[in-house]
Structure 1
Amino acid sequence: MMADSAPEEIAVIGNIDITSAELKNNIRNTMVEIDKGLLRKMEISVAEAEKRTGKNAVNMQETYTVYLIETRPVDTITEGVTPAPDSLWRRYSEFELLRNYLLVTYPFVVVAPLPEKRAEIVWHKLSADNMDPDFVERRRVGLENFLLRVACHPVLCNDKIFYMFLTEEKGWKEMVYDTGFQAKKVLIYLVTCSCRRFTELKHYSDELQTVLSQLLRVRARVADRLYGVYKVHGNYGRVFSEWSAIEKEMGDGLQSAGHHVDVYAASVDDILEEEEHYADQLKEYLFYTDALRAVCRKHELTQFELETAAQDLASKKQQKEELVTGTVRTFSLKGMTSKLFGQETAEQREAKLQALEQQIEEGEEAVKEKNKESDDFVKTAWEDIECFKEQKDRDLKEALISYAIMQISMCKKGIQVWTNAKECFNKM
């Protein structure tokens, strides 16, 4: 459902008679700009999924799914000649490891989410089994979309480990673990101090999550009802067929009308399967809300570190003042010791004063560094957040418009079915 240019987007929006082939193509395409970042140099796709059986970490038999990543350098593609792509297989857990690494390494980036590991917020007839072929296919599309999102991001596309994930069968995991990102991740998630400037973003993230969750639940309920309505129409086909068996002049017309209604009743399965792809696009932004909150947590961490450095510097300055003036403003073990065992010698005080001056100098440098780090983070994070908002507005607009087009097309098909049935009745 990607519009490469404005005229094409207008053509799609204005065409409510979109064909099933065009609709399927719109569903499968991702909403990324293919002329950005790594995508200028390399074609990336998740071509297929395959079920495998093997042993897990505790030596127990398990069934899992692997996904075939294919890459092809753009400069090797000439008119009429397309070389075979390089390919490798990855498990969903490997995609998770890559994303966790990106989240920690680039905390100022709103990292694209992965598709859901297990089906959630679905209408009751849809299988929630993560091995279900339809679900695996939708997840394949989502994993491809994740790779394309990362590949077109101006910062993430240049990451060496991401490039290795796409091109190297082995070795990339060891490189990820060598970065020590897991220890950093624990620290980021433990710090939850106050964050004034990012409070609005956190509230927005929570509200967006609530709205999208409600929208997906409403859609699931509507899908349940729609499924029931369509399937009940199958009773028309059965009744018309039984009726036609006892009629001579009306028999052919009743039989034909029953056939049209049977086709209509059976079409709901494909319709709701197509709808699920649009639901997956909404779910992507539902999961994006976690990435927004991750950026807020990193900002909280930088603020916490800045405040800690500032407090430490203030403490050192107070100690210096107390040492110079010989007065202690607050109770301390050091002050009590001086009263019990006598004052320090001049040489001892001079040595301590020099040490404190050195620590104050280092503290001032640390505060300056933390201030710069905080300012840089806010600047880069807000730039990325603004880009995310533009992308979100564009993608959700396209998804909702295409969903509306699909509903209009579905209603037109229903009208056509009953128009055909009416003609059958007229011929009786």
Structure 2
Amino acid sequence: MSVHGLAWIMIAGLMVEKGGTLLKGLEISVAEAEKRTGKNAVSIQETYTVYLIETRAVDNVSEVANPTPDSLWRRYSEFEIFRNYLLVTYPFVVVPPLPEKRAEFVWHKLSADNMDPDFVERRRVGLENFLLRVASHPVLSNDKIFYSFLTQEQGWKEVVFETGFQAKADSRLKALNATFRVKNPDKRFAEMKHYGDELQSVISQLLRVRARVADRLYGVYKVHGNYGRVFSEWSAIEKEMGDGLQSAGHHMDAYAASIDDILEEEEHYADQLKEYLFYTEALRAVCRKHELCQFELEMAAQDLISKKQQREELATGTVRTFSLKGMTSKLFGQETPEQRETKLKTLETQIEEGEEMVKERTAECDEFVKNAWEDIERFREQKDRDLKEALISYAIMQISMCKKGIQVWNNAKECFSKM
């Protein structure tokens, strides 16, 4: 690790001790993207993109801070490994999403190629936003693996895999089974899961509509380019009106050309919506983890009830429910007192262990609910703030665009009036 990296970790440690977030002591950016060619795991030549992460300690945090930034390159797949680690390690956190791997909800003139320079640039911005989200999170920002991800060019993956996060990951099938088998689901989490589904549906529909509108808008603007060409050609055969027609044509051409910048700016707002579209899956993941936690608690409680019932039946000699053991006793005779005593002792031990297990599961569930709900509230405040700001900015941009369109036609009108 470099000297700058060591200095940075010292600063990070100070931030943890003060209960702050990493972003208060560090500037983080994904400065650029670069296309590279190399061989993959099966020795096949491939082209891929790497992103330059730069970190710089804030000068006023510590005397050891150095203004020269630390930098290293990361592939998108490495970001994926790191995020998967966060998902498993912090199941109660609505983990920030990564930007899309391949373009979705695109209008027809926009390239869906993941190597397209414009798409790579938008993904670079998205990856930087992901790091800033993690660095500003009160829990995630203090994770030591995050330090390694930002400062260690080599060896950080080994540190991640040594945590055993892959083995800890519950299968999707297990979580799905828990969803259908929980007897007493927490109403708040059930409502939150439904909220996540609705939010995903609304944002998806909004992005689809926006893509259709972008297509139509592009067509309308390019029609003005046809007007410009007609006016320019017309001006060549008119003596008195020539200058006016030519000026009007220039206004139309400029208006038609402006659509490319407008739609490029719109993509910025679309990416902000996509971030929260992907956030919905992280929100539902927290709800599924709670269902799994609740399911395991209910299973432990049910097992304890079953053991206590067996103890009662063994002690009284009465069988309340049908069982193979009960039928066997009737057919082949009752157990000896010694055998019954041995089984009672075994059951007593199992009941003690079961009671302890229920206590542990209950404590785990209570702790999960407390932490998860706290993070969900933080996420909702963040979402409301971000989406409100994005939608207001988008509306302002649309108003500005319409005003420019009116101005173009007013300018053209003036040209026609002077003829």
Using the size of structure 2 for normalisation, the TM-score is 0.90
The equivalent residue for 1:394 is: 385
How far off its partner does 1:393 sit?
0.6
CA RMSD of aligned residues (A): 1.9
1:64-75 mapped onto 2 (5 Å cutoff): 64-75=48-59
How far off its partner does 1:77 sit?
8.6
1:412-427 mapped onto 2 (5 Å cutoff): 412-427=403-418
How far off its partner does 1:96 sit?
1.0
Match 1:160 to one of 141, 144, 150: 144
Match 2:85 to one of 101, 111, 121: 101
Which secondary structure state, in structure 2, belongs to the residue aligned with residue 307 of structure 1? helix
Q: Distance in 1 between matches of 2:223 and 2:81?
A: 46
Within the alignment, does 1:111 sit opposite 2:95 as a pair?
yes
Within the alignment, does 1:262 sit opposite 2:246 as a pair?
no
Amino acid at match of 1:59: S
The equivalent residue for 1:273 is: 264
The equivalent residue for 1:368 is: 359
Within the alignment, does 1:405 sit opposite 2:396 as a pair?
yes
Q: Distance in 1 between matches of 2:173 and 2:242?
A: 71
How far off its partner does 1:158 sit?
0.7
Amino acid at match of 2:259: V
Match 2:111 to one of 127, 137, 150: 127
How far off its partner does 1:56 sit?
1.5
In structure 2, the gaps of 5 or more residues are 1-18
Amino acid at match of 2:247: S
The equivalent residue for 1:20 is: none
The equivalent residue for 1:60 is: 44
Q: Is the 8 A contact 1:68 1:89 kept in 2?
A: yes
Within the alignment, does 1:332 sit opposite 2:332 as a pair?
no
Match 1:320 to one of 311, 326, 330: 311
In structure 1, the gaps of 5 or more residues are 1-34
Within the alignment, does 1:288 sit opposite 2:272 as a pair?
no
User: Which structure carries more relative contact order (alpha carbon 8 Å, separation 6+)?
Assistant: 1
Q: Deviations over 1:326-377 (max 9, x none)?
A: 2222333333443454433333322221221111111111101111111111
1:72-87 mapped onto 2 (5 Å cutoff): 72-75=56-59, 83-87=67-71
Q: Distance in 2 between matches of 1:351 and 1:180?
A: 40
Within the alignment, does 1:50 sit opposite 2:34 as a pair?
yes
The equivalent residue for 1:310 is: 301
Q: Is the 8 A contact 1:36 1:153 kept in 2?
A: no
Q: Is the 8 A contact 2:107 2:211 kept in 1?
A: yes
The equivalent residue for 1:23 is: none
How far off its partner does 1:276 sit?
0.6
Q: Distance in 2 between matches of 1:388 and 1:209?
A: 15
Cα–Cα, structure 1 residues 174 and 218, in superposed 2: closer, same or farther, change >3 Å?
Answer: same
Identify which range, 133-142 or 169-178, moves more after superposition. 169-178
Using the size of structure 1 for normalisation, the TM-score is 0.88
Q: Deviations over 1:386-416 (max 9, x none)?
A: 1111111100000000001111111122222
Q: Deviations over 1:59-99 (max 9, x none)?
A: 11111111111001113799xx9822101111111111111
Which secondary structure state, in structure 1, belongs to the residue aligned with residue 43 of structure 2? coil
The equivalent residue for 2:162 is: 178
Q: Is the 8 A contact 1:48 1:67 kept in 2?
A: yes
Aligned residues: 392
How far off its partner does 1:183 sit?
2.7
Amino acid at match of 1:143: L
Amino acid at match of 1:136: V
The equivalent residue for 1:253 is: 244
The equivalent residue for 1:29 is: none
1:26-41 mapped onto 2 (5 Å cutoff): 37-41=21-25
Q: Deviations over 1:23-56 (max 9, x none)?
A: xxxxxxxxxxxx9610011111111111111111
